[in-house]
Structure 1
Amino acid sequence: MRHKTINETNPYRDFLIRGGIVSLIIAVALAIFEIANMFILDNFVLPKYVNLLIEIGMLTVEMIPTLYFFVYKPMKFLLNKDLERTKQQKEQIFKVYSDVLYSASQGKINLWETDQIAPLNQEGELIGHIMLKRSEDVNNARELTTKILKKHHVEQKRSNHIILCVSEATTNVIKHAFYGHLEIRKLDNSYLRIFISDSGPGMDLQKLPNFLLLQGFSTKDSMGVGFTLMFKYAEKVYLAPWSHGTILALDFAI
């Protein structure tokens, strides 16, 4: 068990200490303002509206630091703590799903963060690219894939499997996202990587194991259909949510 050292600070204790010091400063400042207020009003004969303006001004000067240090600062502090706790919980949930999927698929399915998966579209040689925005782009993606597979003399049965996966992935982009991109990269003499990114609603982690591993499971989320086929035919499946959608990479032996 790890023990705290003398030098470690407690954020709650620090916050209370700062709050006490600030409270003392505000109390002194308010006292000074009250004395100044009494001096001005008691020693000068001023019109009523001027006295009223002075009262309002003094009250404003008194209220601003009070609201700032006793309302805004505590609320901001608590909100930041809550946001940090929520972020940590999401990261823990993501890691659990990532570990479970990796183990259940024997290392075939890799659920990664965006910064992990992004470099995958820099590996190898880019040999094909299509923007996915219209329904006819699905057919264009199939034709591009077919052309590339023929050029590399991939056997017909294997080609059909890869084209089917490309068709499923690009169809999901058209159906469930605003637009997307497909890239085909040649990694070496024996592998192709299909890299697809979309701008859509993203993934629901709670449904992720279902649409990845259960045959026929469907969802309205982007890339929510056809994952069982991709899992069956691809050697590796890389998947990552990002702020605007989903990123998918499929590695195929050819």
Structure 2
Amino acid sequence: MDVRGLFNKMFQRQDNSPHDQRIVNPVLPRLSLEFVKERAIIGWMANRMGEYLSWNKGARDFLFFKSFLSKEESDENELLKLSELMFQWCTKGENVPEKIKHKRLAPSLETAFLNVYREYSEYCKRVNSEPAVIAQNDPNGDLNMWGVYRDVMYAATQRRFLLISNDELEVYMQGTILLEQEVKERADIAVCREKTKDVFQTLGIEPSTIMSWQLAISEAVTNILKHAEYGRMSVMENGEEIQVIIMDKGPGFALNELPNTVLMAGYSTKKSLGQGFTLMMKMTHQVLLNTTPNGSTIILIFKKAGRRK
């Protein structure tokens, strides 16, 4: 998976931070699922330490994305090197507070390191104790792994998949309603296909494009019947975009399973879509997901001119 172009754009520094001023031409390794998970955690650790040290947001965000470069590149930054150590020590079950003492860091840096270590330890305890569904923005503001997963999946899918919060969901629910349809039984899948076809034809969409869009819609609607008791599909027009909104009353998606579901074609558990997200991303301009323990909303965004090349 090649996201070099995206990272090149992100690494065009705009702020006046003294940290990592030069423009980076990243050499990215092959982005396996395990690599993405590991580097996301390391990037989050560096970002949080930067926040404790009062770095500006541009410099902190830059650290997060730089964590995905080759190890030689990322090791040039002290916070990333410390984050690498923290991750390794945590993985091996080492006494992290004791080990960091021997590094003889500046007091402010050691304090930032230990604060982030405590946050990460608390997160690991929560994840290991219960398979919690994604929490949007920690209420204490200390831990936002939801945001880390959001950023990683957005970058790794080349902006085709975006995890959205409840507040953001409202933005995508605006426009002119063209169609609404309940989904209760398998026969409703065909009903959704036929009704959306009629709507798209009325809008003048090309037949071949309609067929592609219907595949994506079928996958999203089928998910309701797999994992929820009831759902609803809406089609909305908003300028040059068409939004197909599929809402259900199911159990939601667990944070630790979501990267597998989105990034790995064919990955499937009883709460995942299997081929679903992969297919939907190919057939749409963008796929958005809002998920809670009380239900999920998948939004398929299509461009009237056809799907993005």
TM-score, normalization: structure 2? 0.51
1:239 CA displacement: 0.7
Q: Distance in 1 between matches of 2:53 and 2:149?
A: 28
Partner deviation per Cα, 1:199-250 (whole Å, 9 max, x = no partner): 1111021121222122222221165551101111211211111241111111
Matched-pair contact (CA < 8 Å) for 2:261–2:272? no
Query: Residue type of the partner of 1:252?
Result: F
Q: TM-score, normalised by structure 1?
A: 0.62
CA distance in structure 2 between the aligned counterparts of 1:163 and 1:101, rounded to whole angstroms: 24
Contact 1:222 1:246 in 2 (8 A): no
What whole-Å deviation, never above 9, does each CA across 1:152-206 have from its counterpart, x for those lacking one? 1211211111000111111110121011111000112x32111111111110211
* 1:131 equivalent in structure 2: 182
Alpha-carbon distance in 1 for matches of 2:274, 2:294 = 16
Q: Distance in 1 between matches of 2:163 and 2:142?
A: 14
Give the corresponding residue for 2:15.
Answer: none
Q: Which of residues 193, 207, 213 in structure 2 aligns to 1:142?
A: 193
Residue 115 of structure 1 corresponds to which residue in structure 2? 167
Could you tell me which amino acid in structure 1 is paired with residue 147 of structure 2?
K
| Matched ranges for 1:49-198 at <5 A | 87=138, 92-121=144-173, 123-188=174-239, 190-198=240-248
Q: For residues 217 and 199 of structure 1, what CA distance do their matches in structure 2 show?
A: 23
In structure 2, what is the Cα distance between the partners aligned to 1:174 and 1:159?
23
Unaligned runs of 5+ in 2: 1-51, 55-121, 127-137, 305-309
DSSP-derived class of the 1:232 partner: helix
* Inter-CA distance 119–91: structure 2 relative to 1 (3 Å threshold): farther
CA RMSD of aligned residues (A): 2.5
Distance 1:138 1:185, change over 3 A: same
- Between stretches 85-94 and 125-134, larger displacement belongs to 85-94
Question: Residue deviations 1:53-101, cap 9 Å, x none?
Answer: xxxxxxxxxxxxxxxxxxxxxxxxxxxxx99x96559952211100101
Identify, as 1 or 2, the structure richer in helix.
Answer: 1
Cα distance in structure 1, aligned partners of 2:197 and 2:172: 22
* Runs of 4+ off more than 6 Å: none
CA distance in 2 between partners of 1:201 and 1:108 (Å): 24
Counterparts of 2:233 and 2:272, CA distance in 1: 15
Q: Are the structure 2 counterparts of residues 180 and 225 from structure 1 closer, same or farther at C-alpha, using a change threshold of 3 Å?
A: farther
Q: Which has the higher contact order (CA 8 A, sep 6+)?
A: 1
Structure 2 CA distance for aligned equivalents of residues 223 and 196 of structure 1: 14
Q: Deviations over 1:35-64 (max 9, x none)?
A: xxxxxxxxxxxxxxxxxxxxxxxxxxxxxx
In structure 2, C-alpha distance between the alignment counterparts of 1:89 and 1:203, rounded to whole Å: 22
CA contact 2:251–2:292 (8 Å) conserved in 1: no
Corresponding position of 2:289: 239
Larger-Rg structure: 1
Structure 1 pair 99–241 and aligned structure 2 pair: CA distance change class (3 A): same
Equivalent residues, number: 173
* C-alpha distance 2-205 of structure 1, shift in aligned 2 (>3 A): closer
User: Aligned AA for 2:290?
Assistant: A
* Other structure's SS at 2:182 match: strand
Provide the C-alpha distance between the structure 2 equivalents of 1:115 and 1:102, rounded to a whole number of angstroms: 18
Equivalent pairs: percent with the same residue?
A: 31
CA contact (8 A) 1:201 1:222 kept: no
- Partners of 1:171 and 1:98 in 2: CA distance: 24
| Unaligned stretches of 5+ residues in structure 1 | 4-81
